[in-house]
Every structure is written in C-alpha cells, then in structure tokens.
Amino acid sequence: MQLHYSANMNPNEEESSLTDRYQTTVPARIRKALGLSKKDKLRWFIDESGGIIVQKAGSGQDHSDPILDAWLTFIERDIAEHPERLVTLDGQWYEELVFEVSGERGVGLPGLPPTLEEFQAQSKELKEDD
C-alpha cells in the first residue's frame, strides 16, 4: 500500500471516486463532521461561484443558507483551534469598524451605532424586550 500527500493539499479536503452508477463513499472525516449515519440523506447546493456544498438533509434547521452554515462552521473551528487570536473589542476598535463600514467617523448605521457604549445599550434593550 502506498500513501501520498501533496504539500498543496488542503487539510480540510477529502477525495472519493464515482462508480459506474455515479455512487461514491462519503469519506470518514466528512461523515463525522456532518454527523451522518447509514441511510441518512444528503442535500446538495451549488453556490454562486460554482462550488458545491453538501449538508445532512432533514437536520432540523429552519434556514437553508449553506454559505452561512459553511462560514459559521469555519469560524467555530478557527476559534476552537486558535483561541489565542481572540481579542477584546474595545471602544477604539469598534469605532474603527463602524468607520470602515459607514465611511464616516462618528456616524452609525441601522443596528450599528457610532460608539461601543451605544451598541451595548442597544443590545441590552433588545434583550430586555425578549
């Protein structure tokens, strides 16, 4: 048996082959990530760039945004693997973020007030309304 590894291979990438009847085996790491069991169904999506997204069908999710799901999974995995990258959001960082989005200093956007204090107060009000 010969194993090979390409230096350019993405560690999150798996490969499988198609049979003459277009069937394939879902690689073990993918089965585990999706929480698949025998007889489960898969849902396939083609995104805007032509990429393919596969998710477990009937997983009880009310939304159907595979791009958002993939992004949130990426963020969750990155936080778990690199907690040292997390930084506290302070007032200055927040104001820079709002400036980058709005293009003007001291000006907020709907749902994104100009200061962190205003954002925190708005968030507190929203929680109290629930």
Summarize pLDDT for 35-82 with one digit per residue, the tens: 888 888 998 888 888 888 888 887 555 556 778 888 999 999 999 999
What are the boundaries of each domain within the chain? Answer: 91-129
Long-range contacts of 60-66 (CB under 8 A, 24+ apart): none
d(CA 110, CA 103): 14
**pTM as predicted:** 0.39
Q: Which amino acid is at 112?
A: L
Rounded CA separation 51/91 (Å): 38
* Amino acid present at 18: L
CA atoms within 13 A on the CB side of 121: 6
Q: What is the pLDDT of residues 15-37, one digit of tens each?
A: 899 999 999 999 988 888 888 88
